[in-house]
Amino acid sequence: MTTIQQNFDFIVVGAGSAGCVVAARLSEDSRVRVLLLEGGGQDDHPDVKDPTKWPTLFYGAMDWGWKTAPLRSCFNRIDHLPRGKMLGGCHSHNANAWVRGHHTDFDNWAYSGCPGWSWNDVLPVFKKIEDWHGPASELRGTGGPIYVSPPVDPNPLAASFIEAGCSVGLPVLEDINGPEMLGVGYFNFTVKDGKRFSVADGYLRPALQRPNLTVLTFAETDRLLMDGNRCTGVEYRQNGQVFQAHASSEVILSAGVIGTPRILLLSGIGPEVDLKSHGIPVVANLKGVGRNLQDHPLLAGLLYECSGPLPPPHNNGAESTLWWKSDSQLIGPDIQPVFIEFAFATPELASRVPHHRCYTISPSVVRPQSRGTVKLASANPELAPIIDVNYLACDADVKAMLAAVELCREMGASDAFKEYRAREVMPGPLSRPDMITFIRNAVSTYFHPTSTCKMGHTPMCVVDHELKVHGIDGLRVADASIMPNVTSGNTNAPSIMIGEKAAEFVLKNR
């Protein structure tokens, strides 16, 4: 290959929520050469810029097309697991919700052996990221790379959801990223002037003018280059050819919760028994690679037929949400229903829905106990991995979802929706066994998979608290896969925070 340099100081794999941040921050030092590899293309499709069009992006060239293994606890259904495949990654692909998470999420990370990741540690990083255009608060940041604001001109249905929450006794939140998270309120959004504002906009594009940053699209990384226990670069495919790029300092894997463990496994880093079953030479027997997969199960959903014309979606079409506890003894929220301004149902239930006239309340569980895995199907890097999300495998998750459904149905039946509600389409009043059956048919992803390369210092951890891969020199992971446990909310903001922390660690070591 003659058109680009083959030797760099740093290589970042994946131009998603964390990878764009890492590449942009490292390239601020004009003395270093940075290569950013992205498996997808540009983020310039009109539907990417329209915040209401996120459901249209889940199939086609801008998505990796991952499918789950049969859901063992959900009648062996197979679900689609959308992951963005373009500059900006999932931040060019998601619903633009900006949620940091509950303070206990991060304190639990610190208590589990990850110093430097407590709420007090990460709050300044979140503030550094934000350019907040809402009510002033000492908890919010201004002037940062990411534009964040409350919704502009919210949908009246979204307002009714907040009124419904108030009517059943929930506090109303002025700011979901403010002092308190328990209650009902509007999301914060990364939407500016009616258009999506992603990490590609806030971090990557300003950095592209730097001559020391090289960005390659449609470059799919297959494996890491190793010299003993040191990572020296990557091998990638582009335009049907295979290339190698070398890093004199570090490689940072930001390929996401599926892509990062997949690359590690293809490179011989992972559970020895799995690697040997595919004939892959073992470089490091890291038992936690691809384990501990967590995702928020979301019901698609509780549907209501509108009595008149359905108001068109505003902002992202999912403007209001709530956090609550399914059990008052919990230290933080474990359920997060979201109001969706259009019909949202799984294929198994879609035939029951008059789609053009329905709005949806979708309950979710945001502290799931169920765990899944990401494993290789083959040593062939062109074959999709086996993704076992394992929703509702634990009774605790079913119990929490039942509590969320009960709360949401109470809100859906309240006078707050009287002006709009013609009828409850589904589920309707069901016995507990029948409601559990409905839940297992309706459950899907909340698009928040995490934790397949867990941070910490136990035998099942993959990276240390500075995101260095255990037993490997010159290699870090920076994406949602490092979360010891999934945060209690949408995971985009924490992923960007992880990117900022990773860049700090790398620069400190120079």
Residue 112, judged by CB atoms within 10 A of its CB (0-12, 13-18, 19+), counts as middle
Residue type, 4: I
> Which token pair is 161?
């959801």
- 3-state SS class at 495: helix
Does residue 448 carry a catalytic annotation?
Answer: yes
Residue 420 CB partners (closer than 8 Å, separation 6+): 156, 157, 160, 304, 306, 307, 308, 359
Helices (H) and strands (E) counted in the chain, each on its own, are 12, 25
CA distance 247 to 244: 10
Cβ-contact 233, 245 below 8 angstroms: yes
The tokens 């540009």 sit on which residue?
Answer: 42
| β-strand partners of 374 | 387
d(CA 421, CA 306): 5
Residue 449 CB-density burial (10 A; 0-12 exposed, 13-18 middle, 19+ buried)? buried
Distance CA 81, CA 296 (A): 12
The beta strands (E) that lie in 254-367 are given as 269-270, 284-285, 297-299, 302-306, 320-323, 338-340, 358-362
- The span from the CA of 506 to the CA of 138, in Å, is 28
Say which of 355, 448, 465, 470 is annotated catalytic.
Answer: 448
Tell me, what amino acid is at 491?
Answer: T
Please give the structure tokens belonging to residue 342. 């259009």
Q: Residue 34 is inside which H or E element, if any?
A: strand 34-37
Q: What is the Cα Rg of the chain in Å?
A: 22
The residues annotated as belonging to the active site are: 448
